[in-house]
Amino acid sequence: MSAPMAGLTRGPAARLRSLGGSRLENLCLGLLVLFVLVAVFAPWLSPQDPTYGELGTGLVGPSADHWLGTDQGGHDTFSALVEGSRTSLVGPLLVVLVSTVAGIAIGLFSAWRGGWADTVIGRLLDVVFAFPALLVAILAVAVFGKGMTAPVIAMSVAYMPYTARLVRGLAMQEQARPYIAAYRVQGHSALYVAVRRLLPNIGPTVLAQSTVNFGYALLDLAALSFLGLGVQAPTPDWGAMINQSQAAVLRGQPLSAVVPAVAVVVVVVAFNIVGENVGDRLAGRKT
Amino acid sequence: MALLEYENLSIALPGTARPVLDGIDLTVSAGEIVALVGESGSGKSVTARSALGLFPTGADLDGQVRVDGTEVVGADPAALRSIRTGTASMIFQDPRAGINPVRRIGDFLTESLRVSNGWDKGRANARAAELLAAVGLPAPERHLRQYPYELSGGMLQRVMIAGALTAGPRLLLCDEPTTALDVSTQAEIMAILGRLQRERDLGMLLITHDIELAAAACDRIYVMYAGRIVETAPTAQLFETPRHPYTAGLLGSSPPLQAPDGPPVRLTPIPGSPMGLLDSAPGCSFAARCRLARPGVCDRTAPRLERHGEALVACHLAEESLTSVDNTATREGS
Amino acid sequence: MSRTTTRALGVLSRLAGMAATLLVTSFLVFSSLYLAPGDPASFLVRGRSAGPDELAQIRHRYGFDEPFFVRYWDWLGGVLHGDFGRSYVFHQDVGSVIWSRLPSTLLLIAASALLIAVVGVAAGIVGALRRGTRTDSMLMLLVTVGAAAPAFVAALLLRSLFGVKLGWFPTIGNGTGVLDRLHHVVLPAIALSVTFMAMVTRVTRSSMLEELGREHVEVAVSRGTPRWTVIRRHVLRNALGPIVTVSALLISGMLVSTSIVETAFGMSGVGSLLVTSVNQMDFQVVQAIVLLVVAAFVVVNFLVDLVHPLIDPRVAAAGSAR
């Protein structure tokens, strides 16, 4: 009822923003589709073999042969970018899939059982929450050696509490609604109600969370490769590309590092914007 | 000169179908208690806030509001501040929401004295304790150190009143001061307000949806509907001969303050619901809910306030409706 | 029960909760060694030549011939006394290896924290007060990009532009002497801050906007309180709770990101030590750093919990009512 205070806030441009928002959102959605398509069809799209380093053609600028130039070892940056999209897609995808499924299961169980089980799970999630994903990934590399497998599994655990808490909260809310009680009264088992009725109702919100998680998982895995602990040469990877171009950066030729850096930021921004807007829209708080 | 004077004040928000306020004319003289009555959404609160220059963001303003002769519409910040820290102050509906929950009661009461008047802490605290005693709180010194959550709603509303009095205002705007409180507290708060008004000879604008409460406290009543004043008259006359069908409807739908010993009162609700900001009607905005509405007459825009005896009424049927309205509005037993 | 007693009990129970969390954490970190395939002793000497005698010596020294829980208990006792074991690579106590690198990492963290607090909160305030204007839209765009710009990307761009191209700042190393160190830490601190600054800006803005809409703010305005006094004492003051809470949650991410920034800028510090230790398979050091990062997060959040009643007295009330 009380209108926002005149004199403290300024300017009514909300309508403009909502218009721009949806256009931006479509652009981001388009970018994500492009990203997935490029990752899927990478071998057919990349003009050259990104693992083939041509001697004497290191650090050349953009040309007809090398659209985005080459790195220090003479690898074609554009091809590496295209092929590197695959690891950038697959790693986070696995993390998000595993953490989402596990998170849903744990969250639902916690909400449904309540009582001490809920308390214990909550405390354990708190502990996991204290471990940042990248740290868990680094620890996994320290134990199991370099590569992607161990970090991806470890990060799935690290990301799980976000989904688990969200699902638990949503499930608690939904449980209080009459329709769930109606199903229970009709004699349907808790599992049936959870899977058939509850999940479709909380699914979209969880999907939005997972979309945002994808972006952050991509950042963490790229960081791991940047540290030289993740994807190993010769497999092309955006984080690794930046790592391998460090010397070129110091020589004032940062193109082969800037290209994957921009790709990482653009893809993550797109994931965040799509995730947040999808979440807002589905939750009915479209502003 | 009137202490508070609205002249044809209109406020419109972009993207709405009708103005929030549509040509408000209203005066409060020094020492006078005036009520502004209407359903929620009628624009009562916006009207009261306008007196302090608290307009909705992005609103188009037209007309004038003068507080003790100072123009508020388009006033510069210094002029506004001088009104807000001196001449006029406001008591809000919900003290729980209106007093900063993370700061002490003492901070709430002394803030404007210390910030605007430059008083030192000791002097401001003494004044605050004095005011708390004046609104009947038992332990002023202790309350100053307490947080809002430690006080009941009724106590907090007294704190709110004390806060409104810190500046020694001549005009008190009360926006539904008792609505958020329980019934027994409501009477106490109204008694305190009445006493303070008499003691300090305050001009008072009481905003309420409760026409009986208005009648008990006020000299004159303005009735508001969908952003317009539809009728105003001295309290006694308004009750005796309401001229606007909406006024009559309000009287017929609210229980009288003193329950008569005679037969029980029959309440007649006004049909339909108040008009939102996104609704607009081509003619009189009350026509859709008015049981006297006449096609061909009421689908024209309602007239401005016109004098009928001691009352000012904005109704096509103001003259002729008298008798029939009387019938619907008169309570059995009175 | 008096209010101080309830407060003390609340603090004690939180302290117990923190201790439990740290205990579970230490157990997880310790037992991660046993997840590695094969014999833990040969795992520890991976990549180094070690004869059977040496392996037997390690087994004895690390207590691998003893039961798991005995071994854990000894290790935990050591950790509590600041003894994190011995580094294979440095032939030193892990504690002193970390200790010697701690100051430069703390400098980096302090500089970033300052940047995040000042710039992040200021930008959030501006965004909230100018809501819907072009300034706000620009800020929100920067926030969106900033939140998605990892430290290694920020480091890359800052180095290329301000280090290599413009030559304003050194691109590598820690520097010597106070001024030189500060000069060296500018770009790394910015690189480390970007993401977290964006997050703090966002939470400040939304928290401020929520408070701006509250009625007590309108009441303060209606009493002629000057705009900046209202913003400081009623809006920002009340918005502080969420800002502090979210900032505390960002701590662990920031500590880990020092490894990225220190690696990118070729700095010596605890973060880069973590990465080199993983590379050199110096597991004792990795274990200690992981434990320290998690412990720092847990302790900071415990402290934030403790001061929260000062930020919002209602929290204290809710706590003693329970």
pLDDT at C177 over 70: yes
Which pLDDT value is given to residue A59? Answer: 60
Predicted model pTM = 0.84
User: C-alpha distances in angstroms, B43 versus B20, B84, B183, B198, B208?
Assistant: 6, 21, 25, 28, 11
d(CA A249, CA A265): 18
Structure tokens at A127: 């502990």
Query: Among A133, A164, A163, which Cα is nearest to A151's?
Result: A133
Nearest CA in chain B to C219: B98
Structure tokens at C30: 């310790």
Amino acid at C91: H
Mean pLDDT, residues A221-249: 82
d(CA C152, CA C259): 10
Which pLDDT value is given to residue A277? Answer: 78
Question: How sure is the predictor about B258, in pLDDT bands with cuts at 50, 70 and 90?
Answer: low
Q: Where are chain B's structural domains?
A: 4-224, 226-257+266-328
d(CA C3, CA B189): 31
Distance in Å, alpha carbon of C68 to nearest chain A alpha carbon: 18
pLDDT at A281 over 80: no
* C277 vs A contacts (CB less than 8 Å): 142
Which pLDDT value is given to residue A4? Answer: 41
pLDDT at A16 over 60: no
B162 vs A230: which has the higher pLDDT: B162
B72 touches chain C (CB under 8 A): no
CB contact under 8 A, B59 and A5: no
Question: How sure is the predictor about B271, in pLDDT bands with cuts at 50, 70 and 90?
Answer: confident
Instruction: Give a yes or no: residue A82 inside a domain.
Output: yes
Instruction: Give a yes or no: residue A201 inside a domain.
Output: yes
A16 touches chain B (CB under 8 A): no
Q: How many helices (H) and strands (E) in chain B?
A: 12, 12
Query: Among A234, A252, A220, A254, which Cα is nearest to A141's?
Result: A220
Question: How sure is the predictor about B66, in pLDDT bands with cuts at 50, 70 and 90?
Answer: very high
Provide the sign of the torsion angle of the four alpha carbons C46, C52, C54, C55, taken in this order. Answer: positive
Structure tokens at A255: 């193109």
d(CA C227, CA C253): 36
Instruction: Give a yes or no: residue A255 inside a domain.
Output: yes
Which pLDDT value is given to residue C217? Answer: 93
Mean pLDDT, residues A155-159: 93
Poorest-pLDDT segment among A87-96, B320-329, C64-73: B320-329
Instruction: Give a yes or no: residue A5 inside a domain.
Output: no
E strand or H helix at B9, and its extent?
A: strand B4-12
pLDDT at C38 over 90: no
Which pLDDT value is given to residue A43? Answer: 77
Instruction: Give a yes or no: residue A210 inside a domain.
Output: yes
d(CA A236, CA C271): 25
pLDDT at A136 over 90: yes
Mark out the alpha helices in chain B (DSSP H runs): 44-50, 77-82, 95-98, 105-116, 121-134, 140-145, 153-165, 183-200, 211-217, 235-240, 245-253, 321-329
Mean pLDDT, residues B154-181: 90
Poorest-pLDDT segment among A109-113, B54-58, B253-257, C290-294: B253-257
The pLDDT tens digits of the residues spanning B192-242 come to 999 999 999 999 999 998 888 888 889 899 999 888 888 898 988 888 888
Residue A171 neighbours by CB under 8 Å, 6+ apart: A107, A108, A111, A112, A194, A198, A202
Q: What percent of chain C has pLDDT over 70?
A: 95
A14 vs B47: which has the higher pLDDT: B47
Mean pLDDT, residues C206-220: 91
pLDDT at A1 over 50: no
Q: Which chains touch C (3 or more CB pairs under 8 A)?
A: A, B
Residue A9 neighbours by CB under 8 Å, 6+ apart: B57, C128, C129, C130, C131, C132, C212
Which pLDDT value is given to residue C62? Answer: 72
Mean pLDDT, residues C72-78: 87
Mean pLDDT, residues A171-184: 79
Cα dihedral value B225, B229, B231, B233, nearest 10 = 130
Residue C116 neighbours by CB under 8 Å, 6+ apart: C193, C196, C197, C200, C247, C250
Phi, psi of B307, deg, nearest 5: -80, 130
Structure tokens at B133: 């005693």
Domain range holding A279?
69-285
E strand or H helix at B203, and its extent?
A: strand B203-208
Which pLDDT value is given to residue A243? Answer: 82
Query: Among B319, B232, B246, B247, which Cα is nearest to B288's?
Result: B246
Query: Among A128, C226, A192, which Cα is nearest to B80's?
Result: C226
Phi, psi of C3, deg, nearest 5: -65, -35
Which pLDDT value is given to residue A133? Answer: 92
User: C-alpha distances in angstroms, C214 versus A1, B94, B174, C223?
Assistant: 11, 11, 18, 15
A217 vs B284: which has the higher pLDDT: A217
Interface residue of A265, A267, A272, A285 to substitute, partner C, most C CBs within 10 Å: A265
**Residue A148 per-residue DSSP state:** S
Residue A95 neighbours by CB under 8 Å, 6+ apart: A152, A155, A156, A159, A213, A214, A217, A221
What is the pLDDT of chain B when averaged over all its residues? 85
Amino acid at C289: I
CB contact under 8 A, C21 and A257: no
B115 touches chain C (CB under 8 A): yes
Under CATH, domain B4-224 is a member of which superfamily? P-loop containing nucleotide triphosphate hydrolases (3.40.50.300)
Mean pLDDT, residues C239-249: 90
Question: How sure is the predictor about A8, in pLDDT bands with cuts at 50, 70 and 90?
Answer: very low
d(CA B134, CA B153): 18
Nearest CA in chain C to B164: C223
Question: How sure is the predictor about A217, in pLDDT bands with cuts at 50, 70 and 90?
Answer: very high
Provide the sign of the torsion angle of the four alpha carbons A131, C266, C188, A247, taken in this order. Answer: negative
d(CA A243, CA C150): 13
Question: How sure is the predictor about C49, in pLDDT bands with cuts at 50, 70 and 90?
Answer: low
Q: Which chains touch A (3 or more CB pairs under 8 A)?
A: B, C
CB B201 within 8 A of CB B228: no
CB A248 within 8 A of CB A257: yes
d(CA A178, CA A194): 14
E strand or H helix at B205, and its extent?
A: strand B203-208
Q: Are strands B171-175 and B203-208 parallel, antiparallel or unpaired?
A: parallel
Distance in Å, alpha carbon of B78 to nearest chain C alpha carbon: 9
d(CA B327, CA A83): 86
Nearest to A5 among C25, C171, C217 (CB): C217
Q: At what angle do helices C313-321 and C283-311 cross, to 10 degrees?
A: 100
A3 touches chain C (CB under 8 A): no
Q: Are strands B88-91 and B171-175 parallel, antiparallel or unpaired?
A: parallel
d(CA A185, CA A188): 7
The pLDDT tens digits of the residues spanning A24-52 come to 778 888 888 888 887 787 677 777 776 66
Distance in Å, alpha carbon of C201 to nearest chain B alpha carbon: 22
What is the pLDDT of chain C when averaged over all its residues? 86
Question: How sure is the predictor about B332, in pLDDT bands with cuts at 50, 70 and 90?
Answer: very low
Instruction: Give a yes or no: residue A31 inside a domain.
Output: no
pLDDT at B323 over 60: no
Instruction: Give a yes or no: residue A162 inside a domain.
Output: yes
d(CA C7, CA C305): 12
Distance in Å, alpha carbon of B77 to nearest chain A alpha carbon: 9
Nearest CA in chain C to A257: C156
Helix (H, G, I), strand (E, B) or coil at B74: coil
pLDDT at B114 over 50: yes
Poorest-pLDDT segment among A52-56, C24-28, C243-247: A52-56
Instruction: Give a yes or no: residue A7 inside a domain.
Output: no
d(CA B151, CA B104): 11
Q: Strand runs (DSSP E) across A31-189, as ranges?
A: none
Interface residue of B100, B111, B149, B150 to substitute, partner C, most C CBs within 10 Å: B100
pLDDT at C5 over 50: yes
Total of domains in chain A = 1
Which pLDDT value is given to residue B324? Answer: 46
Distance in Å, alpha carbon of C67 to nearest chain A alpha carbon: 21
Amino acid at C69: F
- Residues shown for chain A: 287
Nearest to B112 among C225, C227, C317 (CB): C225
**Residue B267 per-residue DSSP state:** P
- What is the Cα C108 distance to its own chain's centre? 11
User: C-alpha distances in angstroms, B87 versus A147, B27, B169, C192, C225?
Assistant: 74, 15, 5, 53, 14
* Strand ranges of the sheet holding B21-28, from the earlier edge strand across to the other edge: B21-28, B4-12, B60-67, B70-71
pLDDT at C109 over 90: yes
Residue B115 neighbours by CB under 8 Å, 6+ apart: C225, C226, C229
The segment with the largest mean pLDDT, out of B128-132, C61-65, C153-157, is: B128-132
CATH of the domain at A213: 1.10.3720.10
Which pLDDT value is given to residue C44? Answer: 74
Mean pLDDT, residues A162-191: 82
Interface residue of B54, B102, B105 to substitute, partner C, most C CBs within 10 Å: B102
C172 vs C144: which has the higher pLDDT: C144
